[in-house]
Structure 1
Amino acid sequence: MAAVMAPLIETRGLTLHYGGLKAVDGVDFTLEAGEIHALIGPNGAGKTSFVSLLSGRRLPQSGRILLAGEDITRLPAQLRVRKGIAYTFQITSIFPRLSVFDNVALAVQAQGTRDLENRTRAALARVGLDGLEEQEAGTLSYGHQRLLELAMGLALKPRLLILDEPTQGLAASEIEGFKALVRSLVPETTVLLIEHNMEVVMDLASRITVLTFGRVLASGTPAAIRANPAVQEAYLGA
């Protein structure tokens, strides 16, 4: 009998408090390898706090985080990057005074300097920024800065890529290109997407988890989430 593969990410009873505020309140969550999974919910639902726990930017008060069955609950963020977790932030986190090339090269160096130039150029080409290598990153348009941030994440060759509001500020034409890019990443890379644009969510995600008040309200296919009365009331609107 074949062994059952562990989920890529599994959380059990994950909790994060800020003073008396329960930003993440006992969350059980499963992310299967090779899927595009969206995390949605109203502002203040705990989405960014939850992925901060997954990436190691914050540590939980209680609960566990498993990466392919390995307990990484207390592992520092930089060691999670080496294990294949890349997190692009809600606000662009580029180095504005460095060149486009150097921004991505710094990400590549996080995994060693071997084949630095080829890996850097390949990541830039993947997001359509080839030809802009020497441009100062801070002079890029907002949409191109978001793509640069994505290239920095892809340069790490992640097993899991966490995208936090990646289409915020993008033009419609840029969003179409972004969706095509994300689809091209799976199944080699698993994508966890935090996104308010419901058209993007419903178009890309194979599964959706809805958070509200730091708890999981529902999880399922896009069709099941769209039809869920509790989700309609809390977030989607009737």
Structure 2
Amino acid sequence: MSAPILSTRGLSRAFHGLQAVSNVDFDLPPNEVRALIGPNGAGKTTFVSMLIGRIPPTGGRIAFDGADVTDLPAHARVARGMAYTFQITSVFSRLSVHENVALAARRRLGGDAAAVDGAVTQALARVGLGDRADDAAEDLSYGHQRLLEIAMGLAQKPRLMILDEPTQGLAESEIAAFKVLIRELAAETTILLIEHNMAVVMELADRITVLNFGEVLAEGTPAEIHANADVQAAYLGTGGADA
């Protein structure tokens, strides 16, 4: 069995005495699509923020690609092969779609203009924005800005993509195209998907991790999670949405 590309041991975070994430052990094998779900306030955002280096843990360790990255800043984790799309879009609104992706591509390719342009064209084509390259990012719909973020991640050729609510704001036809894209990407990279659309989760995920009150409530295949009585009581049965 392959060593995990991402793992945590005892990962915890408290805010002013409130335990948001408590002693989480988590292993993500290479080239898996893993979904992270849970009710509002389950600790998903805090957990992911620690994974990517936005906030430090108050306990535990994080390993990425065999190295301890617990104390590394976010940009150093990106340089090692992590890419992350935010729940709230973080594109540069006044730059063109092309330039947004080019900024990300330059992190990997440096000043090789031809290589950067090629990477941008390929990434935009994959997310269905090839015909919007010259548009200002602020002129895109919210859903298309989410796709632009994914293109920015793809341009970095990451070993791990963390996608936070990627289908939010997408039309049904765009969600269908997104699912095709994720299936293609699964052959190239590892994906951690934080997603409220349970139909998307159940269709795309190889395995699902369920957080509740900052702890891992359950982990398993979509069929196992769907049949889990504890998960039904805490999340699926309530119709709760991720946050």
Task: Return the TM-score normalized by structure 1.
Answer: 0.96
Equivalent residues of 2:83, 2:153 under 8 A apart: yes
Q: How does 1:171-182 map to 2 (within 5 A)?
A: 171-182=171-182
- Can you list the C-alpha shifts for 1:8-52, whole angstroms capped at 9, x where unaligned? 111000011111221111100010100100000001101111111
- Can you list the C-alpha shifts for 1:194-226, whole angstroms capped at 9, x where unaligned? 011110000000100000011000000001111
Q: Cα distance, 1:187 vs. partner?
A: 2.4
* Equivalent residue number for residue 57 of structure 1: 54
* Equivalent residue number for residue 89 of structure 2: 92
Equivalent residues of 1:12, 1:63 under 8 A apart: yes
Give the AA of the match of 1:71. Answer: D
* Equivalent residue number for residue 188 of structure 1: 188
Give the AA of the match of 1:113. Answer: G
Q: Which runs of 4+ in 1 moved over 3 A?
A: none
| Matched residue count | 235
- Can you list the C-alpha shifts for 1:143-177, whole angstroms capped at 9, x where unaligned? 21111111011111100000001111111111101
Q: Cα distance, 1:5 vs. partner?
A: 3.1
Aligned-partner SS, 1:131:
helix
1: CA distance, partners of 2:57 / 2:127: 34
Equivalent residues of 1:15, 1:24 under 8 A apart: yes
* Equivalent residue number for residue 137 of structure 1: 137
Task: Percent identity, please.
Answer: 63
Q: Cα distance, 1:91 vs. partner?
A: 0.8
Equivalent residues of 1:33, 1:187 under 8 A apart: no
* Equivalent residue number for residue 198 of structure 1: 198
1: CA distance, partners of 2:131 / 2:20: 42
Give the AA of the match of 1:169. Answer: G
- Can you list the C-alpha shifts for 1:62-92, whole angstroms capped at 9, x where unaligned? 1011112211111111010011100100011
Give the AA of the match of 1:68. Answer: D
* Equivalent residue number for residue 237 of structure 2: 237
Unaligned segments of structure 2, at least 5 residues: 239-243
Equivalent residues of 2:2, 2:29 under 8 A apart: no
Q: Cα distance, 1:184 vs. partner?
A: 0.5
Task: Return the TM-score normalized by structure 2.
Answer: 0.94
Equivalent residues of 2:2, 2:30 under 8 A apart: no
Give the AA of the match of 2:148. Answer: L
Q: Cα distance, 1:6 vs. partner?
A: 1.5
Give the AA of the match of 2:25. Answer: D
1: CA distance, partners of 2:3 / 2:111: 32
Aligned-partner SS, 1:29:
strand
What RMSD over aligned residues (CA atoms) do the two structures have, in Å? 1.1
2: CA distance, partners of 1:211 / 1:177: 28
* Equivalent residue number for residue 36 of structure 1: 33
* Equivalent residue number for residue 113 of structure 1: 111
2: CA distance, partners of 1:53 / 1:156: 21
2: CA distance, partners of 1:113 / 1:45: 42
* Equivalent residue number for residue 12 of structure 2: 15
Q: Cα distance, 1:192 vs. partner?
A: 0.2
- Can you list the C-alpha shifts for 1:92-136, whole angstroms capped at 9, x where unaligned? 111110000010011112222331111111111111111211101
